[in-house]
Amino acid sequence: MKRGLVSWDRNELPVEEMSARLDAVHALARNKSVDAVVVYSDVWRSNDARYVSNYMPYWNRAFIVTPLGEKPILLCALSPRVYPWIKTVTVHETIVASPSPPATLFKLSAERGWKRVGVVDLDGLPADLHEELTAGKIEIVDIPRTELRPAPTAVEVRMHANAARMAREVLERALATAGARTDHELTGLLERDLRHAGAEDVVVLVSDGEGPPIPAEGRPVGPNTSVVVALEYNGHWAKVTRNLAGVTSSLTSPGEATQLREILSGPYSWENAETAADAEATAIISLQLQIAANGRQFYYGDTCLQNKEGLRVL
């Protein structure tokens, strides 16, 4: 399956944290004069839904609808047989079967007498959902995503740090033991150990020093090998890169190394940080460096908190 076992450890993610987020969504609804705030979710774009209700789908499109003064309602097309499980790992108490989330939202609005509904990042919706929503009879108000989530909370930072620590420990141990002869074997060992450690999703890329990291192709593992591990732990992503040659660079001041910055706390699992606003945003980022040495390309990187004070490795 796409993800491993999804659970809710209330020591890691306290109920009080989710209550504070709900209060913030209600305040946003009042500020925008809307009857409810809607967040879209699918398997690739579940970060915002996870933030609001801790809902992390195995698959499926969904709307998380938060009425003013109430708990979020989940509109999804998953089988009712999984609803009891969903209720154990989210704040949702009400789940409505919804083959078409927009149609169900319109029906709910008619039943509740809602006239104005706020949709987070309206123009970022899939085209068919955008078209259906904006063709309805209720007023749809676009809510910029930065108003829902201006910056990662302290709990989110800690969760990303836990994910980064897991990736770092497993990757560095695997490279130190030299137990794999090919990148296929190395990828298998890493995924096994990361899944056992609690990762829900794992992506492994490998470079032989001649080109960028790519999925395993059966190439030998040797002194020029670099490995990228991206993993999801309880809905929070981390990305860590190491190389067998031990080539490193400062991540807080990477100097002349070619670098790639990706946002891990955005709407998607990870996305390139390309604009000036991305570079200034308070966010969890992946910083990956390409370092030239001995005629080869080595890769090194980690997960960082980016804010006005600079970068801090988590």
Hey, is 16 helix, strand or coil? helix
Please write the tens of the pLDDT for every residue from 275-299: 877 888 899 999 999 999 989 999 9
For residue 1, the model assigns a pLDDT of 47
Please count the helices (runs of H) and the strands (runs of E) in the chain.
Answer: 9, 14
Mean per-residue pLDDT for 171-198?
Answer: 94
Strand, coil or helix: what is 101?
helix
Q: Are strands 62-67 and 296-307 parallel, antiparallel or unpaired?
A: unpaired
Answer with the residue of higher pLDDT: 185 or 252.
Answer: 185
pLDDT of residue 178: 76
**Does residue 2 have a pLDDT over 60?**
no
For residue 272, list its beta bridge partners.
Answer: 262
Which residues are bridge partners to 294 per DSSP? none
Instruction: Report percent pLDDT > 90 for the chain.
Output: 79
How do 283-293 and 271-272 pair as beta strands?
A: unpaired
- Reported as a single tens digit per residue, the pLDDT across 224-265 is 999 999 999 988 999 999 999 999 998 887 776 888 999 999
**pLDDT top residue among 301 and 8:** 301
**Which one has a higher pLDDT value, 271 or 305?**
305
Q: Which residues pair with 143 in a beta bridge?
A: 120
Chain mean pLDDT for the chain: 93
- Give me 167's structure tokens: 């990736």
Containing 245, the helix (H) or strand (E) segment is: none
Contacts of 240 (CB under 8 A, 6+ apart): 164, 167, 168, 171, 228, 229, 301, 302, 303
Could you tell me which residue, 271 or 265, shows the higher pLDDT? 265
- Please give the biggest Cα pair distance in the chain: 69
Which domains occur in the chain, in start order?
A: 15-148 (3.40.350.10), 154-313 (3.90.230.10)
- Other CB atoms within a 10 A radius of the CB of residue 140 amount to 19
Q: How far is CA 163 from CA 59, 86, 195, 209, in A?
A: 22, 22, 12, 27
Among 136-140, 141-145, 158-162, 178-182, name the one with the lowest average pLDDT: 178-182
pLDDT digits (tens, 9 = 90+) for 49-105: 999 999 988 778 999 999 999 999 999 999 999 999 999 999 999 999 999 999 999
Which residues, in sequence order, are bridge partners of residue 64?
Answer: 39, 74
